[in-house]
Structure 1
Amino acid sequence: MKILKTTFYSALITFIRIASGFVASKVIAIITGPTGVALVGTFSNFITIALTFANGAINTGVIKYTADYENDIDKQKRLFGTALKITVYCSFICGVILVIFSGFWANSISSSSLYKWPIISLGLSIVFYALNTLLISILNGRKDIKTYTNVNTIGSIISLVFTIVMVYFFKIVGALYALALSQSIVFIITFFYTINSNWFSFSLFSQKFSRDEAIKLSRFSLMAIVSALLIPLSQIILRNHVASKFSLVDAGYWQGMMRISDAYLMIVTTSLSTYFLPKLSSIKTNKELRSEIIKGYKLILPVVFLMTLLIYFLRFLIIRILFTPDFIVMEKLFYWQLIGDFFKIASYILGYLMLAKAMTRLYIATEVIFTFSYVVLGYFLTDKYGLEGIVIAFGINYIICFLFIAYSFRQLLFGIGTLKEFSDGTN
């Protein structure tokens, strides 16, 4: 699977996702306003955390070892059987906890009582949500790009239609239910396409639980849990800070800016996860690894730079198209947000190397340090610069993060280190 081919298919997936996300955002913005956008953003962060625990945080590990075991059916059976059992058990436990403590979770993420029943709905359906992500991870690891593209494209369209219907009839509450239930509905499509793939067999998932495979997957679980907790949690903390210091409307402006960033960067992050993670996982030599990283930088960073430049100069038009005139205040957030986006992707390229080679200590240290610094900078800079301070914090934080990661990999990048030194002894 070549990077250009993968990027093309990833671009197709992303275009559908972006279009779907933008239409959904437009509908939510028109019907619910900035306040609704902020509330939906908070619930989206919560779902990210819940889903990570529901599938045992094994998705990255499944992608890596599916790629590693490409020519070994016995190992695939042990991996898939173990991953399925972990997913089912963890999602059941997570679902029970969500339902029983729905009131507690609703009060914890916001003072709004709107979240309780959507959280209960999420708890009752989260097993399908988790199974959907497991199957997509396997498709990714197998480099089955055609099926992967079909599943994601159709899934995005279904999610969009479901979201529009729910928001139209039930306003903010409908948007929350759509977030909670859409991916569970998409599972039906993913399952249908997967079982009709030429490689699929139910016997691949029938093996007993393998302790060895579970230990391998657990290395990635720890990294995934740290990311899934810290990144959404930092956004929830900062969103609540902005809402309390300024207003929930201002939090909605920032959330709108984040949605724009997430949407256009999806074309890059989808390519990285689809191509880079399985590719870097399978590389065994230091020379080839360095070549792949440098090729990624040469191809991806110029594209990101042009995208950020274009978005900055078209920011007023983008706001009018995607949101409503009420969101025009957002335009002052673009400059530093786009700078942060550029260095975020620069950091992600080497970040995927940490994931692919199970560099647990370095990965967790990086996540903890820069999530903490983001929150601290967010508090400090909003005091100094107002709402704009939140994106200044984002930009500065990712500049420093990139410099830190590049320094950590200086030996590999300049050809004076070995692959073993970077594997953290776990690969």
Structure 2
Amino acid sequence: MKLISTTLYSGLITIVKTTAAFVSTKIVAMFVGAAGVATIGAFGNFLNIVLAFANGAIQTGVVKYTAEYQDDVEKSKKLFSTSFRISVLCSLAIGALLLALSNWLSTLIFATSQYGTIVRVLGVTIVFYALNSLLISVLNGKGLIKIYSIVNMAGSLLGLVLTCVLVYFFQIEGALLALILSQTAIFFVSLFIVYKKKLIVHEIKWSLYDRDIAKKLSGYSLMAIVSAMTVPVAQILIRNMLTVNMGIDSAGIWQGMIRVSDAYLLIINTALGTYYLPKLSTLIDREDITRELYKGFKLIMPLVVVSCLIMYVLRFFVIRILYTPEFYIMEELFLWQLLGDIFKIAAFLLAYLMLAKALTKVYIITEIIFSVLYVVLSYIMIPIYGVKGATLAFFFNYIGYFVFMSIYFKDYLFRNGRV
């Protein structure tokens, strides 16, 4: 699998995903305004946390070991079967908790129990998300990028259709339901595709559960759970501070900036996820790893910088196209958010090596430290600079993250000839 061809496929996925995300964002902004965007952002953070637990947070481990066991049929069957059992059991347990605690969780997330039904719908359907996530991870690990691309694009289009219909009829509740139901719908599309291609499904047997493989996946589970907890929780705390100090509309403006950032960087993040993790997992020589990292920086970072420049120049146009006039104040957030994005991607190019080599302790420590730093910097800067303070905190936090990653991996690769 070549980095350039993977990036091209990632670009195709991104065109569809970004278009779908932009149209969805415009519809949400038109019908529910800045306050609605903040509410949907809060639920999105909650989803990230819950969905990580729903399949045991094993996605990254499944990608790594699927790539690693490519030529070992028996190990592959054990991996898929073990992952399937973990996904089913974890999703059923989380679903039961969501059903039992629906009203309390609604109050915790939205400060009202009126969205308890939304949480219950999530509880009933969460098993489909977990199984779809497993299928996607295996496709990624096997390097089946064409099929992976088809499934991802189908999911984006289904999500767009559901968002348009449900927001029109049910406003905020419709947008929340669309986030949930799109995952359910895409599972059946994924299942149909892999079944027709005779992939994965035929190799899964409940009786082939393997404790050693489950133990290996657990290290990645811990990393994924920490990641799923730290970033969304940090955003929840920052959003709450903006709401308390400046009102929910200001929190919605900041959330709108986050959505823009996530959308235009989608091609980069998709390329990293589909190429780097499987590739780095198979490399053990320091020279090979260094060469691969250099290739990534040479190809990816110019693309990131150019993308940021284009986004900054077109910021007024972007706001006008994606949002409504009440979002024009977002213009002052672009500079620091985009600069922060550059350092974020540069750091992620290095951080993927932690996932590929299962450096669990370092990964967890850095995730916690820099998420806490992000919140602390926001708490310092928001009272001084207002909404812009949150993006300043983002910028300085990722400078620190990149510097740390550069120093750590220079030392790590120097000390280890084979890793």
What range is the shorter-chain TM-score in? over 0.9
- Kindly state the Cα deviation for residue 113 of structure 1 after the two structures are TM-superposed: 3.2
Take 1:362 and 1:218, find their aligned partners in 2: how far apart are those partners? 16
Correspondence list, 1:259-270, <5 A: 259-270=259-270
Partner residue of 2:74? 74
CA contact (8 A) 1:340 1:394 kept: yes
The match for 2:381 is 381
Residue 416 of structure 2: aligned partner: 418
Match of 1:210 in 2: 210
Contact 1:340 1:396 in 2 (8 A): yes
Matched residue, 1:324: 324
- TM-score of the superposed pair, with normalisation by structure 2: 0.98
**Bigger CA drift: 173-182 or 105-114?**
105-114
1:326 CA displacement: 1.2
**Residue 204 of structure 1: how far off its partner (Å):** 3.7
Alignment of 1:349-388 (within 5 A): 349-388=349-388
Q: Does the residue aligned with 2:208 lie in a helix, a strand or coil? A: coil
Q: How big is the shift at 1:417?
A: 2.7
- 8 A contact 1:155–1:186 mirrored in 2: yes
Task: State the shift of 1:112 in Å.
Answer: 3.2
Match of 1:408 in 2: 408
- Of the structure 1 ranges 390-399 and 207-216, higher mean CA displacement relative to structure 2 is found in 207-216
Preserved CA contact (<8 Å) 1:59 1:134: yes
AA at the equivalent of 1:271: A
Quote the offset at 1:197 in angstroms: 2.0
1:10-409 equivalence runs, <5 A:
10-409=10-409
Question: RMSD in angstroms over aligned alpha carbons?
Answer: 1.1
**Paired letter, 2:110:** S
User: In the aligned structure 2, how far is the partner of 1:376 from the partner of 1:15?
Assistant: 35
Determine the C-alpha separation between the residues in 2 that align with 1:205 and 1:297: 41
CA distance in 1, matches of 2:93, 2:199: 31
Residue 384 of structure 1 deviates from its aligned partner by 1.3
Aligned counterparts of 2:389 and 2:23: Cα–Cα separation in 1: 28
Is the contact between residue 24 and residue 164 of structure 1 (CA under 8 Å) also seen in structure 2?
A: yes
Measured in 2, the distance between the counterparts of 1:115 and 1:330 equals 28
Q: How far is 1:203 from its partner?
A: 3.2
Distance 2:106 2:320 in 1: 32
Q: Which segment drifts farther, 197-206 or 217-226?
A: 197-206
Native 8 Å contact 1:272 1:349 kept in 2:
yes
For residues 12-70 of structure 1, what are the alpha-carbon distances to aligned partners after superposition, in whole Å with 9 as ceiling and x for unaligned? 00110110001000000000000110000110110111100000000000000000000
1:105 Cα deviation (Å)?
Answer: 1.2
1:108 Cα shift? Answer: 1.7
* Aligned equivalents of 1:118, 1:342: Cα separation in 2: 36
Q: CA–CA distance in 2 between the matches of 1:106 and 1:376?
A: 27
Between 162-171 and 195-204, the greater mean CA deviation after superposition: 195-204
Render the CA deviation track for 1:344-384: whole Å, top value 9, x for unaligned: 10111111110010001110111010000000001110011
The superposition leaves residues 106-151 of structure 1 with CA deviations (integer Å, 9 ceiling, x where unpaired) of 1222313343211110000000011011100000000001110111
Is the Cα contact below 8 Å between 2:103 and 2:116 reproduced in 1?
yes
* TM-score computed with the length of structure 1 as normaliser: 0.96
| Alpha-carbon contact 1:280-1:356 (below 8 Å) kept | yes
SS of residue in 1 equivalent to 2:70 = coil
Name the CA distance, whole Å, in 1 between partners of 2:330 and 2:385.
15
Deviations along 1:201-249, one digit per CA (max 9) or x if unpaired, are: 5234444211000000001000000000111111111111101110100
Deviates more, 1:152-161 or 1:192-201: 192-201
User: Number of residues paired by the alignment?
Assistant: 419
Residue 160 of structure 2 aligns with an amino acid whose one-letter code is L
Q: Is the 8 A contact 1:81 1:208 kept in 2?
A: yes
Is the Cα contact below 8 Å between 1:167 and 1:173 reproduced in 2? Answer: yes
DSSP-derived class of the 1:409 partner: helix
Is the 2:243–2:249 Cα contact (8 Å) retained in structure 1?
A: yes
- The one-letter amino acid of 2:85's match is K
Q: Per the alignment, in what secondary structure is the counterpart of residue 56 of structure 1?
A: coil
Matched-pair contact (CA < 8 Å) for 1:347–1:401: yes
Q: CA deviation at 1:419?
A: 4.9
| Mapped partners of 2:135, 2:338: distance in 1 | 33
Amino acid at match of 2:225: I
Q: Contact 1:60–1:137 (CA<8 Å) still a contact in 2? A: yes
Cα distance change, pair 95–200 in 1 and its aligned pair in 2 (3 A): closer
Q: 8 Å contact 1:114–1:173 — kept in the other structure?
A: no
Cα deviation per residue 1:330-353 (whole Å; 9 max; x = unaligned)?
000101100111111011111111
Counterparts of 2:240 and 2:100, CA distance in 1: 25
Letter in 2 for 1:177: L
C-alpha separation in 2, matches of 1:251 and 1:196: 45
Query: Shift of residue 200 of structure 1?
Result: 4.0
Q: Conserved in 1, the CA contact under 8 Å of 2:99 and 2:119?
A: yes
Between 1:292-301 and 1:193-202, the stretch displaced more is: 193-202
CA contact (8 A) 2:238 2:375 kept: yes
Structure 2 Cα separation of the partners of residues 347 and 255 of structure 1: 23
